[in-house]
Amino acid sequence: MLSWRTPAISGTIGGSSLARAKSALAVPVPRRLQSSQAVESPGTRRLEWRLDGRKLPPWRTKRRDYEPFSPSAVILERLYARESRMTREQWELFRDIASKRSTRLPVMTAQMLLRQEEASLRTSLSGLLTDDDGSETDSNWDKRLEILAHTGITEQHLQHWVWILQGKTADERVQRFLSGDTYKPMFLLFIMIHKAHTIFDRQLFVSLLDYVSTTYCQDRSQAAEPQRVYRSLSSRHNMTPAHFIEMLDRLVNQALRLCPEALVTIAEVVTCYLETKPVSPNSHDNGYSAQCRVFNRALFTFSRAANLRPLANTRYNWEAQKHLLAFSNSLKRPLIINESGYRAIQGVMVGREKSEDEAKVAIRSAKSWPPYREAWDGVDEQRRLEDDLSRAVKTGISAREAGYPDSELDRALGTLGGAVLGDGPTVQTRSTSFRARSGRRAAENVYKTWAAQVRATRNSQEAWAAFRRPPREGIRPSAWVYEEMFAKLFAYEVDDPASAVPGNAKEVMPVYQPGNLSEFEKWRLQPPTVAELYDHMLDSGVKPVGQVLRMLVANAESEGEVLRYLQDSPYQDFAAVVQERDRSCPPNEANFFQVEGLYRSVPRTVFGAYISFLCKMQRKVYSGHSYADHADSPVDNSYLRRALAVVSVRLRPELPEGRTYKPPWYDILRTMVMARTHGALVTVARGQVELFLNVFKWVRKHTGMDAMLLEIMCLSTGRVMAANFTKAANPPVVRPEAVYAAREERWWARHDAAGEEGRKTLASAWVESMAAFEEMQKPGSGIGGFHVYIYVRVLGMYGAVHEMVVVMRWVLARLEEGDQFNGGIEDGTSNHAYLLRAFGFAEAYGNECGRVDEVASIKARRRLLVEEGYPFTLGEMSKSDEEDVEFVMAIAEGWGKYAEDDVDGKIPW
């Protein structure tokens, strides 16, 4: 009998029942099957990690002791298949690894793990793990242990490694891995840092980096490890450049998902390895070529974009690359940068924020296409053409000077950088790096150049002009080119064109029409509509796939449009379930894997776009709902229920995708509270705030905490508190929490307040906000001035002055230690502006509450930072800031009255 576990998520969605909400988020986690007969049919679920371990050369696969698959990947698959239904493909892998009679450490460890599991619950694997004669003593196993003993590996080593692998979570396994001095082989380290082994604790990951540096990269003059009698136990000698490159790739994957700040630490590990790595006696150049190989591979690896806020975290990519380049320049014989190394540096330069000079060049461009430089004053007249080149373009020039010819990918990067040799100028546009085609498909890179030309424009009219001018005569646009054109058509116009810098954001600049153009010319230059461009794409023989399909689905205005896009794409099975309005979700035990296969038939980006569309439709329902002063009248939540049910099927926590792909959860959490009207959030006990809190805790537990979840939590809590203790204007405004109401108009001044259930829900929101911020205080969390500001406002709404002072002291301590708070110490950035607002808000709020001495100490420490050169001088508070402090204090006053009514102490302080 299969068992099903449902996450502890409670609450209601509008007028729906609690059972309905739980069924929408039910995540099936059946027990491990006890027999090889009761397994899923082939093809029901794709093997997650498949055989993606270290690829073996053909000559090794022919040897008897080396399997054509990676035993480490099988071990990792086993860790996450213990409590879920196994597919036949998985079971065959486990049978293969159990039947091997190899002395390889991963095989022996996997069999030891299976032996211990079989001791508690026997399956048909037991017969494969022992001798064929069925004797109690396994002579073959003992012989293999004797062979390993000659290399220094004992059965106690295997038992310790199995104990590490038996940890319940990835964090627990890493913690066991770092404990003790027992020798750990490289395959075990590679399992710990595999992309499917999802680490959530940032401090634990930093400790793992320290272990790698100490074990494999310590200075030759120091004893990196005890003198080993056996060569096989020498970690430093076993770490070849090929192994190090594989380890570097996995460490960077973990860092880009967990904490991009750790890229700098990984760069330090790379330079330490390059300094201390043992030189092979067969090396003809004293290891110099191997150093260059690792160096350039590291430059390429550090060019990858972060999973969360890739452009904002580009600064860490550059810091890591800069550390490697500084190390190379410090050598007597600098390391050679190859073509991919230059390209990686240029790709990071394209994503960096514009410098002051680059911003001036972008602003001083004429509004025609192609843009040309305008001289505004004598200083502009004296500038040379070379002074207008961006850092990305100068990097490309350095590559050509080093002897590497331009490729189509280099031309695409140059286009995004603002200039290509021999072509007209473009708009310097921030962008993440992209991969090039190679081999037989290398000719397709010309479409990358064309797509870059469309992207490096200021508005849809300029993009349309670039779209109609192919880089080579006779070629038709591909899906990449259509993707960039659709992006320009879907983009919003900037709010303040006078202060906006072209190429800095996804928003487009307004279209400039010279006064001497005829109406026919204006009509000729006008870009097509989305529907016209879509028909043009289909007529050209290009199907909506990949990012084009993602963009179309996410920006669709109706389910009919989504259905049309999916039916024109190769994903017909997914189109069928969308046409049925997701009636099969949540599935039952009998058809779960069939339904899961349908939702897994599309790429995860398209799946995320579909969830984003459902949330957008739900927001439209909320905005069209009639405004209620103090009643949470029933609202249609069908789109939100569908989104919850669909996400729970595909993004299950036992799958790597379910633990790492979080944008669908962001959309759902934003919709649940922040999309509701002011009046709909007044009576929190009858609303969906409780459900929001439970979903938030579930997502935090299974996917880990990050800066985006903290932001959603604080903003949602602020919305609910403002709705319950102030009265919005009628009709509602866009941001009701910013509307200040007179005392007699506040909700808490009335007698029909939310009651005890409402108090408990509001108190739970406070507790969750504090727990989330406490977790994000760990190094490498990525929080900035904006997160500090919104959290301080939440503390102010609850009247938590003491906690507010503690937070500001923590911020000062981080600043005194040199922490940049994600660019918060750089004048002119949004994080810096919000950090200043946080200081101003906390000091004004503290003075109003009588904490004069504590506020004075904060001001004194802040002045010391200013004397050291930090831009933290606060000006006079604006009228809006003063009103915001008064507004928050009014909410705190209302919450204080609720707290006084709670005589039984039921609110968790």
Q: What is the pLDDT of residues 87-120, one digit of tens each?
A: 778 888 888 888 888 889 999 999 999 988 888 8
Task: Output the average pLDDT for the chain.
Answer: 82
For 909, counting Cβ atoms within 10 Å of its Cβ (0-12 exposed, 13-18 middle, 19+ buried), the class is: exposed
Which pLDDT does position 223 carry in this prediction? 46
Tell me the two tokens of residue 151. 């290399």
835 falls within a domain: yes
Instruction: Give rounded-to-5 percent helix, strand, coil for the chain.
Output: 60, 0, 40
Residue among 170, 671, 833 nearest 680 (CA): 671
Residue among 657, 663, 569, 575 nearest 615 (CA): 663
Rounded Cα gap, residues 903 and 897, in angstroms: 11
pLDDT at 219 over 90: no
Question: Are 298 and 359 in the same domain?
Answer: no
The CA-atom distances, in angstroms, between 106 and each of 47, 194, 276, 527 are 20, 15, 27, 59
The CA-atom distances, in angstroms, between 277 and each of 54, 273, 512, 723 are 21, 5, 59, 61
163-172, 194-203, 211-220, 695-704: least confidently modelled range: 211-220
Residue among 187, 192, 194 nearest 67 (CA): 187
Q: pLDDT digits over 412-436, tens only?
A: 999 999 988 778 889 999 998 877 7
Assign 60 a pLDDT band (cuts: 50, 70, 90). very low
Which pLDDT does position 26 carry in this prediction? 39
Question: Are 242 and 354 in the same domain?
Answer: no
893 falls within a domain: yes
Specify the higher pLDDT residue, 308 or 337: 337
Examine the fold and report which residue of 486, 519, 554 is the final residue of a domain before the chain moves on: 554
Q: pLDDT digits over 837-859, tens only?
A: 999 999 999 999 989 999 999 99
Q: pLDDT digits over 716-764, tens only?
A: 999 999 888 887 654 444 343 444 455 545 554 444 455 677 888 889 9
φ, ψ (nearest 5 deg) of residue 155: -65, -30
309 falls within a domain: no
pLDDT at 233 over 80: no
Q: pLDDT digits over 453-480, tens only?
A: 999 999 999 999 999 999 888 899 999 9
The length of the chain in residues reads 909
Number of domains the chain is built from: 3
The CA-atom distances, in angstroms, between 184 and each of 72, 210, 589 are 14, 15, 41
Which domain range does residue 320 map to?
A: 196-303+314-330
295 falls within a domain: yes
Specify the higher pLDDT residue, 515 or 734: 515
pLDDT at 319 over 90: yes
Q: pLDDT digits over 355-413, tens only?
A: 888 888 888 888 888 888 788 877 777 777 778 889 999 999 999 999 999 888 999 99
Assign 42 a pLDDT band (cuts: 50, 70, 90). very low
Rounded Cα gap, residues 756 and 763, in angstroms: 11
pLDDT, mean of residues 491-496: 88
Examine the fold and report which residue of 554, 589, 624 is the final residue of a domain before the chain moves on: 554
Strand partners, 493: 508
Which pLDDT does position 647 carry in this prediction? 95
Question: Are 856 and 790 in the same domain?
Answer: yes
Question: Are 518 and 433 in the same domain?
Answer: yes
Question: Are 424 and 465 in the same domain?
Answer: yes
In order, the DSSP letters of 169-180 are SHHHHHHHHHSS
Question: Are 788 and 845 in the same domain?
Answer: yes
Question: Are 318 and 454 in the same domain?
Answer: no
184 falls within a domain: no
Instruction: Select, from the ranges 226-235, 324-333, 668-677, the one with the highest average predicted confidence (pLDDT).
Output: 324-333
Q: pLDDT digits over 236-288, tens only?
A: 778 889 999 999 999 999 999 999 999 999 999 999 999 888 777 777 788 89
The three-state secondary structure class of 80 is helix
712 falls within a domain: no
Q: pLDDT digits over 544-595, tens only?
A: 999 999 999 999 999 999 999 999 999 999 999 999 999 888 888 788 888 9
699-708, 867-876, 882-891: least confidently modelled range: 867-876
pLDDT at 905 over 70: no
pLDDT at 220 over 70: no
Please state whether 582 falls in left (phi above 0), alpha (psi between -120 and 50) or beta.
left
Which pLDDT does position 170 carry in this prediction? 92
Which pLDDT does position 614 carry in this prediction? 96
Q: pLDDT digits over 688-714, tens only?
A: 888 999 999 999 999 999 999 999 999
Rounded Cα gap, residues 491 and 156, in angstroms: 61
pLDDT, mean of residues 72-82: 85
Specify the higher pLDDT residue, 316 or 129: 316
Please state whether 808 falls in left (phi above 0), alpha (psi between -120 and 50) or beta.
alpha
Contact between 406 and 395 (Cβ < 8 Å): no
Assign 683 a pLDDT band (cuts: 50, 70, 90). confident
Rounded Cα gap, residues 145 and 154, in angstroms: 7
As a whole-number percent, the residues of the chain with pLDDT over 90 amount to 46
Assign 33 a pLDDT band (cuts: 50, 70, 90). very low
Question: Are 431 and 475 in the same domain?
Answer: yes
Rounded Cα gap, residues 645 and 639, in angstroms: 10
Which pLDDT does position 370 carry in this prediction? 85
318-332, 787-801, 871-885: least confidently modelled range: 871-885
Which pLDDT does position 368 carry in this prediction? 83
pLDDT at 203 over 70: yes
Question: Are 299 and 354 in the same domain?
Answer: no
Examine the fold and report which residue of 554, 586, 611 is the final residue of a domain before the chain moves on: 554
Tell me the two tokens of residue 838. 């946080």
- State the alpha helices, DSSP H only, in 456-568: 460-467, 479-490, 519-525, 530-539, 546-554, 559-568
pLDDT at 164 over 80: yes
811 falls within a domain: yes
Tell me the two tokens of residue 45. 């679920």
Q: pLDDT digits over 118-144, tens only?
A: 888 788 788 888 765 555 457 888 899
Rounded Cα gap, residues 742 and 745, in angstroms: 5
Rounded Cα gap, residues 748 and 893, in angstroms: 9
Question: Are 359 and 326 in the same domain?
Answer: no
Contact between 302 and 271 (Cβ < 8 Å): no
Contact between 779 and 206 (Cβ < 8 Å): yes
Question: Are 399 and 285 in the same domain?
Answer: no
Residue type, 855: V
Question: Are 259 and 368 in the same domain?
Answer: no
Rounded Cα gap, residues 10 and 634, in angstroms: 18
pLDDT at 210 over 60: yes
As a whole-number percent, the residues of the chain with pLDDT over 70 amount to 84
Quote the strand ranges of 777-822, DSSP E: none
505 falls within a domain: yes
